[in-house]
Amino acid sequence: MGFVVGLDAGGTATRAVVLDLDGTRLGAGVAGGANPNSHPPARAASQIGDALRAALEGLDVRKVQSGVLGMAGSSKLTDPAVAALFEKAWAEAGLRCPMRVVTDCEAAFAAGSASPDGTVVVAGTGSIAARIVDHKLRGTTGGYGWLLGDEGSAFWMGRSAVRDTLGQLETDEPLSALAEAVLGMSLVETAQRRRMWSRLITVVNSSPPIGLARYAPLVSAMAADQDPHALDIVDTAARLLADTAMAAREPGERTPIVLVGSLVGPSSPVGDRLRSLLRARTGATVRVATEGAAGAAWLAALDLLGPTAPRPA
């Protein structure tokens, strides 16, 4: 019996999964981030090789008949020089089957649904929604990056938390729990409000803009404690993500919706609110996907077996 391999390469981690053709997991590997837009391409390619070797350890590499690489930043591989680095890493891991590259959206949707058609919403540091038709990406909404969009993302939530805190510091009202948490994370300790206001602006602007995403977990934690400022940010983030998802769908569409990303997981307040909104607006099934590598491996199995390919166990 042959094997298939799937990879999910993101900005912070790369995961590889090996399945047999019954969908049984045979191996798994993890390495560092391999998005060639956020890492030097040579470094990104080497992480692909590391994840593959870890997943294939102890297995007969010659039995791998099909492989799919799901990757954030997949468009970068349209550059022949970058593609050559990834092809080399693939071959040096012992694989002789072709490397088929898909977007992380396609791998994520396959991980969350067996349907060939539907919508996937990715919400982590950034945000994007994609329309999937016959397991392939057919269009996107959002995903413009922190400067131009990414509404409802961790970056957006973190920026909202800091702006809300600054607004509170401009008043004489007691600070909310969220504001206290933001100031604590920022190591702003002076008691004079105007100085706190100035210091927070200085601290935030001294880091890369995308670093604002680190405040998002504070919003989730404070929302769980019913802080009204955090709850307002959570509700708005969920609404913005729902709007992004709806823009990727046809009117009246009932195909499944898959959510993926740190911001919309099973225990996330934003995820809980977003699932409720999407079910109310569409009547569709809404699922959470947590393992894009398994979705990529299933896409590799579909390439071999067609629609009868078993889902990963």
What is the rounded CA–CA span in Å between residue 262 and residue 123? Answer: 7
Task: Select the CATH number that applies to the domain covering 3-113+290-308 from these four: 3.30.420.40, 3.90.78.10, 3.40.50.720, 3.40.1190.20.
Answer: 3.30.420.40
As a whole number of angstroms, the distance between CA 156 and CA 309 comes to: 39
Q: Which amino acid does the sequence have at 47? A: Q
Residue 84 has pLDDT above 80, yes or no: yes
Distance in angstroms (rounded) separating the CA atoms of residues 298 and 293: 9
Q: Domain segments of the chain: what residues?
A: 3-113+290-308, 116-288
Tell me, yes or no, if the pTM score tops 0.95: no
116-288 and 3-113+290-308 share a CATH fold: yes
41 pLDDT higher than 90: yes
Mean pLDDT of 240-255: 95
Q: Is the pLDDT of residue 145 over 90?
A: no
Strand partners, 119: 131, 257
Q: What is the mean pLDDT of the segment spanning 146-157?
A: 91
CB 239, CB 277: distance < 8 Å: yes
Calpha distance 117→132 (Å, rounded): 5
pLDDT confidence band for 261 (50 / 70 / 90): confident
What is the second-level CATH architecture of the domain 116-288?
2-Layer Sandwich (3.30)
Q: How confident is the model at residue 190 (pLDDT cuts 50, 70, 90)?
A: low
Across the range 262-284, mean pLDDT stands at 93
Write down the pLDDT at residue 262: 85
